Amino acid sequence: MQPESQLSDDLLRQALDAAPDGIAVVDDTGAIIFVNPMVEQLFGYPRDELVGMSVDLLVPERARGLHAGRRAEYAAHPRTRSMGTGLDLHGRRRSGAEFPLEISLSPLRMGERLLVIAVIRDITERRAVDEELQQAREVLALVDDRERIARDLHDTVIQRLFAVGLSLQGAVTRAASDPAVERIQLAIDDIDTTIRDIRSSIFALHTRQPFAASLRDDVIVIAREAARALGFEPSVMFDGPVDSVVTDEIREHLLATLREALSNVTKHAHASKVHIELVADANHVSLCVGDDGVGIDSPGEGNGLRNMKVRAIAFGGSCEIDRASAAGGTRIQWRVPVDAGVAG
């Protein structure tokens, strides 16, 4: 075997050319002085254009000032920096397209001159896999929640209703007047109906396909996504057959409206609480989003608020935006008929 000290320059060049990651060498002014073929492939520039180019041109325009500052900081304190340091970095291809990347840096002294070796890795595919895994985790969390709710309904709620029903049946035998007996019997019938409805819900919770997300699931996922930006998780309440009466077409616009509303809360409200309520019956579905933030003075302004109203009107519905209370906050009430199609 050839000793390491006797490796030829040609062999070292071939090793760099064959590397699966991009490798670039940058001088202390930020000028690129060497690239391997993978850098050409990643950024879409030929070698003769890359060599001599400022490395700042390979990052999105909005980040170039920040990148120049980081270069200066690194030059003042050069050190080896491994990949995966938590920085959210993006590259800019010659076409203008952006892609996520990771970079490791190593300083190299050439006399008085500081060179930096950058190893560049495109992590687009890994990001996609990470997003899919996160979505899978959220769906599994919803499945766990659904199973827990089913257990609670069966083990606690139904048993309590049975106990109340038995007590009422005992009261029937002791009731002195026919009107009282009739009212008690009606209450017992209502309890029986409620128990049947709960059992049907339990069956639906157990039999729903885990990865066929319901409208309820989608609302909860969107609320959890918003929690990352808000710093707290919105409360969510459902009432009525929201999964069975809302069409796919309405569902799409309803979820878009919810995202718009939560985005506005995140950007403008400075809220500490957000409540989401989704209610449906045989005729209408209603989405209400309320917060305890600074409130809104001009509900007609802004693309987001205007989009919510347009979506509701397209289905023959309405969208009301006002203050939640005299103390402040905002309340958005979006309501459409469930048998509506988008107006032509």
pLDDT, tens digit (0-9, with 9 covering 90-100), for 291-302: 999 887 654 556
Distance set, CA 219 to CA 34, 47, 143, 155 (Å):
50, 49, 14, 26
pLDDT reported for residue 200: 64
pLDDT reported for residue 211: 47
User: How many residues would you count in the chain?
Assistant: 344
Max avg pLDDT among 116-120, 132-136, 143-147, 148-152: 116-120
Decide if 43 contacts 93 (C-beta within 8 A).
yes
Q: For the chain, what percentages of helix, strand and coil (3-state, to nearest 5) are there?
A: 50, 20, 25
pLDDT for residue 303 is more than 70:
no
As beta bridge partners, residue 89 has: 101
Tens-place pLDDT, residues 203-248: 666 555 444 568 888 898 888 888 888 889 999 999 989 988 999 8
Tens-place pLDDT, residues 99-125: 999 999 999 988 888 999 999 999 999
Decide if 287 contacts 314 (C-beta within 8 A).
no
Q: Is the dihedral of CA 226, 232, 233, 235 positive or negative?
A: negative
Determine the number of helices (DSSP H) and then strands (DSSP E) in the chain. 11, 10
Decide if 280 contacts 314 (C-beta within 8 A).
no
The order of strands in the sheet holding 328-337 is 235-239, 274-280, 284-291, 328-337, 318-325
pLDDT reported for residue 116: 93
pLDDT reported for residue 344: 45
Residue scoring higher pLDDT (145 or 215): 215
Decide if 89 contacts 100 (C-beta within 8 A).
yes
Strands 22-26 and 113-122: antiparallel
Predicted model pTM: 0.45
Task: Measure CA 157 to chain center.
Answer: 33
Whole-angstrom distance, CA of residue 343 vs CA of residue 336 = 12
Q: Return all residues near 112 (Cβ < 8 A) that are at least 6 apart.
A: none
Residue scoring higher pLDDT (331 or 166): 331
Tokens 């009731």 found at? 175
Residue scoring higher pLDDT (160 or 45): 45
Decide if 340 contacts 316 (C-beta within 8 A).
yes
> How many other C-beta atoms are found inside a 10 Å radius of the C-beta of residue 235?
12
Tokens 């340091």 found at? 85
Angle between the N-to-C axes of helices 303-314 and 248-264, in degrees from 0 to 180, rounded to the nearest 10: 160
What number is the average pLDDT over the span 277-303? 83
